[in-house]
Every structure is written in C-alpha cells, then in structure tokens.
Amino acid sequence: MTTPGISVLDGKYMVTMDLFPQQSKEFNQVYAFYENLKQGRFTTTKCADCGAESFPPRVMCPECFSTNMQWIDWPNEGTVIEFTEEVVGVPLGFGKAPLVHALVDLQGKKTMFVRVINCAEGQLKVGDKVRVAVFDVDPVPQEVKGGIQEIPRVFYAFEPVT
C-alpha cells in the first residue's frame, strides 16, 4: 500500500486512510459486485420478489425488504448531465489534477455522481458519453491460514468514450 505524499508510510497498511472498501467474501456481503468488476462487468442487485433494481447493490430490497436478491448487469455507459473539475488542491490519494466528477444519466436507470478518470482538463463537455472504467487499487493485507496474504482489489470510475 502506498500513500502518495507520505513516504514514511510506504509499505504500511493504514486502514483509516484506505479510500476503498474491503472486498473479500469474509468482509463484504456484496463482494460479487467486485468479482464482476474484475471481469469488466458493471452489475447490481435486483429484487426477485418485486423487481426493484438498486444501486449500490443491496443484500435486502429497499422497497419490500426481501432478501431474495439476484445479480444483474447494468449499462456501463452513460451521458454527462453536469460536471466539476478540480484543478488545484486535489485531496491526498486521488493522484494528479484534474479531479473530475460528473453527474451521469445511466441510460435512465439512475442518475449517478461519479468520478471521471483518463480525462484531461477541459476535455469533458455536457452531453458527452462516458463509460465504466475498472482500475486496480492497492491490495489489502488479510490474515489467512498460514500467514498474511495480499488480497487484490479493484474499483470503478467512468472515463470519456473516445
């Protein structure tokens, strides 16, 4: 685990500075979301009883409280409704400027506020198409039989469709 800008923490895992969720089966009931992301699939849960689709994925339906949930693929491309670009003062852990966030219409499924990566300053415009981009994040050390193992992790953002 590296903490950009704080070299004394190199090689140490600081749980309070970890921006990303624990993703393994032992710690996360929606771990399948991350397993699917690793395969390039953007998925969420759908209630098998009432049909409600939720994002982020749920273990219990927010409409009818059923726990009979199933995994479905969601659109991985959307349209920018509005966006912000942070060009100075990007918070620790987010890399170099610009830090771009956008309100994205995910093909009518949901309006999401997402991070946009692989995007130069001034590149994004309202109405642009963006798609899900999966990237590796620092693995998390986890105790397993026989010692400590680094568990690979991924996360998602969106990127411009070029």
Query: Which of 160, 75, 59 lies closest to 109 in space, CA to CA?
Result: 75
Among positions 6, 14, 50, 72, the unique one binding Zn ion when judged by CB under 5 A:
50
Q: Which stretch binds Zn ion (CB under 5 A): 21-29, 40-48, 71-79, 152-160?
A: 40-48
Q: Please check whether residue 71 is in contact with residue 43, taking contact to mean a CB–CB distance below 8 angstroms.
A: yes
Q: Does 92 bind Zn ion (CB under 5 A)?
A: no
Among positions 30, 47, 69, 130, the unique one binding Zn ion when judged by CB under 5 A:
47
One-letter amino acid of 105? D
Q: Does 61 bind Zn ion (CB under 5 A)?
A: yes
Among positions 52, 60, 112, 154, the unique one binding Zn ion when judged by CB under 5 A:
52
Q: Which stretch binds Zn ion (CB under 5 A): 54-62, 86-94, 139-147, 149-157?
A: 54-62
Among positions 2, 29, 66, 107, the unique one binding Zn ion when judged by CB under 5 A:
66
Q: Select 45 or 76, whichever has its Cβ closest to Zn ion.
A: 45
Positions in the binding site for Zn ion (CB under 5 A): 47, 49-50, 52, 61, 63-64, 66
